[in-house]
Amino acid sequence: MNRIHIVSNRLPVSINVENDHIELVPSVGGLATGMRSVYKEYNGKWIGWPGLPSDDLNEELQSNIDEKLIEEDCVSVHLSKEEIDLYYDGFSNRTIWPLFHYFAQYIDYSPELWDAFVSVNQKFADKALETLEEGDTIWIHDYQLLLVPEMIKSQKPGVTVGFFLHIPFPSFEVFRILPWRKELIQGMLGADLIGFHTFDYQRHFFSCVRRLMGYEISFNEIHIEDRIVIVDSFPMGIDYDKFRDAAIQTFQKPLQEKSKLHRELEKYFLVSPNRKLILSIDRLDYSKGIPNRLQAFAKFLEEYPEFIGKVTLIMLAVPSRGTVEHYINLKREVDELVGNVNGRFGSINYTPVWYFYRSLPFENLIELYSSCDVALVTPVRDGMNLVAKEYVASRTNRTGVIILSEMAGVSKEMGEALMINPNNTGEIAQSIYQALTMPLEEQRERMIYLQDRIKRYDVFKWSSEFVKSLRKVEKLQSSIYAKKVNTSILEKIKTEYANSQKRSIFLDYDGTLTGFKKNPNDAKPDEELHKILYQLEEDPKNVITIISGRDRESLENWFDGHKINLIVEHGVWIKKYNKEWKMLANANDTWKPSIRPILETFVDRTPGSFIEEKNYSLVWHFRKSEPEQGELRANELKDELTTMIANHNLEILEGNKVIEVKSGGINKGMASLQFLQNQNFDFILALGDDWTDEYMFRELPDTAITIKVGLKHTAARYKVDSVSKVRSLLSNLE
Ligand code: ADQ
């Protein structure tokens, strides 16, 4: 089994150094838990920053730390204070984080942050490359390392690269704001598999890829020059059993073993048995909607004064990114709001908000999860939000209500929660009331479904699903490579060619002999192509046919003077060398007046698109249109046409950025077969790049050498990845 390595900004351990004594403390976060099982099981290494600035460590200490870490299969990337400041606090948390969470007003565009981001990503990639061997697999995590996939792929193409983004991926309109948008997308596309928490993020990513890079996307595959990138959603889970078991144990502990917090909570319930507790837990981050939550809680107390003195909001905020200006301001805002709510609604024996600005041990978290009646989770944007899942897992008696922001990725999996818009304080206040008054039976009904789902798709399932997909994508890439014309296949073709007496060579034109141009009339043959064809024609054993969907005029003009045959309009017409045009198939064009107006409405609605009229077909081109709109309209057009042509002998062909309607039963397969009739060729070669060429690949005899240009699934025997490879193959035949 191939090794799987992990790369993330932080290693799954923290380091304590006291009097040169090094202690490693494993971290308990969700990512560390999920990934530990992966890299241990697959004999990999975990590459990341150990958490201490390298300026604080002398060389000896650094190498001692490295040694200690390697015992845990961890490889350290040492970062200086300046690098942490510019790459981590800087570009990661002052540029990408606000951008991806739709806080455009907070984005820092300083180029020096970007430069540091590139160089630190390169540092991670270099460390990974030292560890990686061809055939290994690597799984890279999160927004701090968006450029690493490409940096690895370009150096070691044989490594399978996975990338998972833990935060949202924003819509194109937001993403485009960034000056380095293309570079980020390119960086990510170095991966073979890209994972997001939800389908929405995946959709946004596709639209950015389409618009910024112009790559073709079919289903969840992105076709880039010589590879396929698979994109999928994998909603991250938690270690469900750990939370559930800990919650069970908490209640079974004898009083003297209970934590101070737990004893205080119990005392509190003893004094006020009808008190209700609402829990709020997050890192102190502006994406988490903490001020909105406090305002909504105040509104709730204002609108339902009967709850004053009876409900307490326990608000835990883990200090986070305290050096970044917006976080400092947020801290001040939250402090003031808490003071304000407590001042307005509190009394000597009632504090409405208990606010803890610190990280709490796991044991305390569990006590709070299992003791609070309601969890208030109201981020304004959140990639997933594990707190909501942890609350569900800790509810061993199956009661409790979650109020959940529809802007959190987790909302897609928690239909049974009370869903709110985090900017609508009135709605949140109303939901708090609904949650506090919800009958126990209803709470249980909702909780059972939630627990079932969150338990099934836990963090281990999440990571194993991702690994499974990595394995699949690895196979897919190798099947693509298997058909690729390599030196030995090329030698085989050359030998067959040399040993034959009468050869038929079918060549598609656009996308095969020449690249695509925005305007089809600009794609005329260049000098190099003319030379290659002249050379082939010189050999009397060769019969060369250009077989294309184009009309008669341009090809006839362009290849005037060549000793070749032309088959055009997908097989309607043929012009043998030195002969006149002849119809190969019975076609008619009486259908055109009813189809043309439909295409015209699509031209009107899709700027940049146009109609090309051939003798027996009509073609709608959208290469010049805005890519996403073009694809969208193409699907719409196909849909409309399919119903229209139901009772006519017509066909819809989908080519490269074109939709063509033509008389039925005519295609390159039929045309090439007809051409071969009654002739005894002992060598047949056919090259083509798109869908319409597949007819030819399927119909030609099994002995034919059929070659697809591009990577898509094909009936052809072989593949080459570009026009220039086609040209070099043809010039190599002798
Ligand atoms: P975060 O933004 O950190 O993660 P979240 O998913 O909620 O958000 O995870 C927070 C974690 O911190 C939870 O496991 C929670 O138990 C813990 N925690 C919170 N408050 C704590 C406290 N006071 N003391 C101790 N522990 C505390 C990012 C993305 C999320 C995404 C995760 C995972 O922003 O959207 O869900 O990664 O992909």
Q: What is the pLDDT of residues 661-672, one digit of tens each?
A: 988 888 999 999
Give me the mean pLDDT over the 571-576 stretch.
93
User: Which pLDDT score is estimated for 412?
Assistant: 93
Lowest mean pLDDT among 41-50, 611-620, 707-716: 707-716
Is the CB of residue 316 below 6 angstroms from any atom belonging to ligand 1? yes
Please tell me which residue in 508, 510, 690, 693 is annotated as part of the active site: 508
Is the CB of residue 367 below 6 angstroms from any atom belonging to ligand 1? no
Cβ-contact 310, 274 below 8 angstroms: yes
User: Phi-psi category of 398—alpha, beta or left, where left has phi over 0 and alpha has psi -120 to 50?
Assistant: left
Report the distance separating Cα 388 and Cα 405, nearest Å. 10
Q: What is the pTM of this model?
A: 0.81
Q: Is the pLDDT of residue 290 over 90?
A: yes
What are the tens digits of pLDDT across the range 312-359?
999 999 998 888 889 999 999 999 999 999 999 999 989 999 999 999
Report which residue type is found at 184.
L
Q: Is the pLDDT of residue 292 over 90?
A: yes
Report the distance separating Cα 308 and Cα 395, nearest Å. 26
Tell me, in angstroms, the distance from the centre of ligand 1 to residue 410's CA: 12
Beta strands in 400-554 (DSSP E): 401-405, 418-420, 503-507, 542-547
State yes or no: is 508 an active-site residue.
yes
Residues whose CB falls within 8 Å of the CB of residue 50, separated by 6 or more in sequence, listed in order:
11, 13, 14, 15, 65, 69, 74, 76, 78
User: Which pLDDT score is estimated for 1?
Assistant: 56
Mean pLDDT of the chain, nearest integer: 92
Dig out the tokens for 601 from the structure: 């409405």
Instruction: Specify which of 18-32, 221-235, 554-568 reaches the highest per-range mean pLDDT.
Output: 554-568
Report the distance separating Cα 293 and Cα 352, nearest Å. 13
Beta strands in 66-136 (DSSP E): 74-76
DSSP state string for 167-222: S----HHHHTTSTTHHHHHHHHTT-SEEEESSHHHHHHHHHHHHHHH--EEETTEE
Closest ligand 1 atom to 29 CA: 14
Q: Is the pLDDT of residue 614 over 60?
A: yes
Tell me, in angstroms, the distance from the centre of ligand 1 to residue 666's CA: 60
Report the distance separating Cα 125 and Cα 153, nearest Å. 10
What are the tens digits of pLDDT across the range 37-72?
888 889 999 999 999 999 988 889 999 999 999 999
Q: Are strands 565-568 and 573-575 parallel, antiparallel or unpaired?
A: antiparallel
Q: Is the pLDDT of residue 106 over 90?
A: yes
Tell me, in angstroms, the distance from the centre of ligand 1 to residue 385's CA: 6
User: Which pLDDT score is estimated for 720?
Assistant: 93
What are the tens digits of pLDDT across the range 387-407?
999 999 999 999 999 999 999
Q: Is the pLDDT of residue 218 over 90?
A: no
Cβ-contact 167, 142 below 8 angstroms: yes
Is the CB of residue 359 below 6 angstroms from any atom belonging to ligand 1? yes
Is the CB of residue 567 below 6 angstroms from any atom belonging to ligand 1? no
Report the distance separating Cα 145 and Cα 143, nearest Å. 5
Report the distance separating Cα 729 and Cα 556, nearest Å. 25
User: Which pLDDT score is estimated for 20?
Assistant: 76
Give me the mean pLDDT over the 11-38 stretch.
86
Query: Is residue 469 classed as helix, strand or coil in its secondary structure?
Result: helix
Give me the mean pLDDT over the 225-239 stretch.
90
Report the distance separating Cα 80 and Cα 641, nearest Å. 62
Number of H helices, E strands in the chain: 26, 29
Report the distance separating Cα 407 and Cα 40, nearest Å. 35
Report the distance separating Cα 200 and Cα 406, nearest Å. 12
Tell me, in angstroms, the distance from the centre of ligand 1 to residue 611's CA: 54
Q: What is the Cα 570 distance to its own chain's centre?
A: 37
Report which residue type is found at 708.
K
User: Which pLDDT score is estimated for 39?
Assistant: 87
The Cβ of residue 404 has, within 10 Å, a number of other Cβ atoms equal to 27
What are the tens digits of pLDDT across the range 687-699?
999 888 999 999 9
Please report which confidence band the pLDDT of residue 430 belongs to, taking 50, 70 and 90 as the band edges.
Answer: very high
CA torsion angle for 463, 466, 472, 478 (degrees, to 10)? -100
Tell me, in angstroms, the distance from the centre of ligand 1 to residue 387's CA: 6
What are the tens digits of pLDDT across the range 456-479?
999 999 999 999 999 999 988 887
Q: Are strands 542-547 and 565-568 parallel, antiparallel or unpaired?
A: parallel
Q: Is the pLDDT of residue 585 over 80?
A: no
The Cβ of residue 673 has, within 10 Å, a number of other Cβ atoms equal to 15
Q: Which segments of 484-622 does DSSP mark as H helices, in order?
A: 487-498, 527-538, 552-558, 592-605
Is the CB of residue 366 below 6 angstroms from any atom belonging to ligand 1? no
Q: Which 3-state string (H, E, C) describes 246-282?
A: HHHHHHHCCHHHCCHHHHHHHHHHHHCCCCEEEEEEE
Report the distance separating Cα 130 and Cα 404, nearest Å. 44
Percentage, residues of the chain above pLDDT 70: 100
Cβ-contact 113, 91 below 8 angstroms: yes
The Cβ of residue 595 has, within 10 Å, a number of other Cβ atoms equal to 18
Q: Is the pLDDT of residue 223 over 90?
A: no
Beta strands in 407-519 (DSSP E): 418-420, 503-507
Report the distance separating Cα 533 and Cα 529, nearest Å. 6
Give me the mean pLDDT over the 18-37 stretch.
84
Please report which confidence band the pLDDT of residue 248 belongs to, taking 50, 70 and 90 as the band edges.
Answer: very high
What are the tens digits of pLDDT across the range 119-173?
999 999 999 999 999 899 999 999 999 999 999 999 999 999 999 999 999 999 9
Cβ-contact 24, 30 below 8 angstroms: no
Pairwise pLDDT comparison (21 vs 244), residue with the higher score:
244
Pocket test of ligand 1: the residue of 27, 143, 281 to mutate, having most ligand atoms within 8 Å of its CB, is 281
**DSSP run (H or E) holding 141:** strand 137-141
Is the CB of residue 690 below 6 angstroms from any atom belonging to ligand 1? no
Give me the mean pLDDT over the 425-451 stretch.
97
Q: Is the pLDDT of residue 539 over 70?
A: yes
User: Which pLDDT score is estimated for 528?
Assistant: 95
Cβ-contact 539, 502 below 8 angstroms: no
